[in-house]
Amino acid sequence: MSDMSQLELSDIFSVDREGKPTMKIVLFGPPSSGKTSMLTVFNALRRMENPDTIVSNLLKIQDDSGRTVFFDQGVFQTPPFKGKKFDRLRYQLWTVPGEDRHKVQRDIIMSGVDAVILFLNFENIARQQNLAIIKEAREKIGEKFGKKIPVVAYINKSDLDKNERIDKRELIKDLIDEGAIQSDKAANVVMTGSCLNARNDLLSILNSDEKLAYFESNRLRLDKRPESVGLIVRPIQKLTQLVVEQRLEYVQSI
Ligand X SMILES: Nc1nc2c(ncn2[C@@H]2O[C@H](COP(=O)(O)OP(=O)(O)O)[C@@H](O)[C@H]2O)c(=O)[nH]1
In the complex, which residues of this chain contact Mg ion (CB under 5 A)? 36, 68
Q: Give the nearest distance from C-beta 174 to ligand X in angstroms.
A: 18
How near is the Cβ of 93 to Mg ion at its closest, in Å? 12
Task: Report if residue 99 touches ligand X, rule: CB under 6 A.
Answer: no
Query: What does the alpha-carbon distance between residue 10 and residue 29 come to, in Å, rounded to a whole number?
Result: 30
Which of 194, 202, 228, 233 binds ligand X (CB under 6 A)? It is 194
Q: Does 37 bind ligand X (CB under 6 A)?
A: yes
Nearest approach in angstroms of CB 69 to ligand X is 11
Please give the Cα distance from 41 to 233 (Å, whole number).
Answer: 9
Quick one: which of 87, 99, 79 has its CA closest to 15? 87
Instruction: Outline where the chain has alpha helix (H).
Output: 9-12, 35-49, 103-109, 127-141, 168-177, 186-189, 195-206, 227-253
Distances (CA, A) of 51 to 39, 42, 57, 216: 15, 12, 11, 14
Distance separating alpha carbons of residues 28 and 118, to the nearest angstrom: 5
Q: Which does 156 bind (CB under 5 to 8 A by kind): Mg ion, ligand X, none?
A: ligand X
132 binds ligand X (CB under 6 A): no
Beta carbon of residue 73, minimum distance to ligand X (angstroms, whole number): 13
Residues lying near ligand X in the complex (CB under 6 A) are found at: 29, 31-37, 68, 95, 98, 156-157, 159-160, 194-196
